Amino acid sequence: MWLNIPSNSDFSIHNLPFGVFKTTDKGPRAGVAIGDHIVDLVAAAEHNLFGKRRFFKKVLEQSTLNEFIALGKPVTNRVRRKVQDWLSQATRPDNASAILCDRHSATMLMPVRVPNYTDFYSSIEHATNVGKMFRPDNPLLPNWRWLPVGYHGRASSIVVSGTPIQWPHGQLLPKGQETPVYGPTQQMDFELEMAFVIGKESPLGTPINIENAEEYIFGLVLFNDWSARDIQRWEYVPLGPFLGKNFGSSISPWIVPLEALKPFRTKGPKQNPAPLAYLSQRGIKNIDINLEVSVTSPKSNVETAVVKSNTRYLYWSMAQQLAHHTVNGCNVQVGDMMASGTISGPTPDSFGSMLELSWGGSKPLTLKDGSTRTFLQPGDTVTIRGWSEKEGRRVGFGEVTGLLKQ
């Protein structure tokens, strides 16, 4: 390989995730991350890296990847292989300077237009922890082990990493009072999640069989589903989250193709009772992705790692989530985003939210600058990172960050 890639880079030759970027002299376009660089797919098409097909360049010049993804995995995987072959040459190609961009000087944009968004509740540790706080005698509701619980959310306020998040306001019920008040949340939280992006449409009225579910999954992104816990607590009965979540969710800009994560497959938790037939899956469906959350206080601008977790803890797999989502005939569209729900592990340092880390505010966390947190504060920045690593092969997601503005 002629390009020097740092050994700890998330964007190795084994990864090659897709995103949309722009520079001072180039408008929005599709790209592939490799080390500290971006392969400009428009320029690559102009240099006939993918064959002489003019329409293809137009697809790559779009402001989102939706049209490109809609071409199907045979096409998108072929593009990825062509880029991989180009990067794997023994000597630097003559067209390298025209095709490569500096990743750190580029501006990353939303990789897809999100028509629809669904949030699941797929971590049994998270569901149990939250249940213990609010229903000590019955923490896990009877339906939880039978189906991937989820809800349809809003898609309009999903934003790319680096977009500031406005501090939310809404109705909340102060402790000991019977009448709600309107005001800023006092319990701002992050939620550590992964999301998968739909890459293939399905017709209305036709369920997606669990054995074919992964054909519809283009790739994965890191997902921070910001939550205002006090607003959510007052509003969520009987229909679930609304203003407590719809003010914003943040995603990482690079979509890691499902194919890049194949070497990191792992067994998930044993499911008991056995799922119903339409949720019964064969093979190894979970993925071993290390996850880390850090909080940076405006006081010191120093990061403090507060969570170390992993997607292998998820009780319900992506295939099961998608099969359940569509079993009644619900159709899916290219760019639809489906999030896992908060990913928590079995130990306190693997809990995926401030709600759990501080146990409802009763156990403050101390940051490196000496300040404490039970929930987030205005000016805090939250950063989520994720990566898989095995036998010298690293495939990462980069990061998703968000600054809380008041």
- Report how far residue 402's alpha carbon sits from residue 382's, in angstroms, rounded to the nearest whole number: 6
104 assigned to active site = no
Q: Token pair of 327, please?
A: 């079993």
Helix (H) or strand (E) holding 182: strand 181-184
For the residues of 255-305, what is the DSSP string, one character each? Answer: BEEGGGGGGGEE--PPPSSPPPGGG---S--EE--EEEEEEE-TTT--EEE
| Furthest-apart CA atoms within the chain: distance in Å | 72
- Report how far residue 371's alpha carbon sits from residue 45's, in angstroms, rounded to the nearest whole number: 51
Q: Token pair of 29, please?
A: 């376009």
**Number of C-beta neighbours around residue 313 at 10 A:** 21
Alpha helices for 327-363 (secondary structure H): 354-357
- Report how far residue 201's alpha carbon sits from residue 204's, in angstroms, rounded to the nearest whole number: 9
- Selected catalytic residue, list 14, 104, 126, 324: 126
Q: Token pair of 158, please?
A: 């999903």
Closest CA to 110 of 338, 335, 339: 335
Catalytic residue ranges:
126
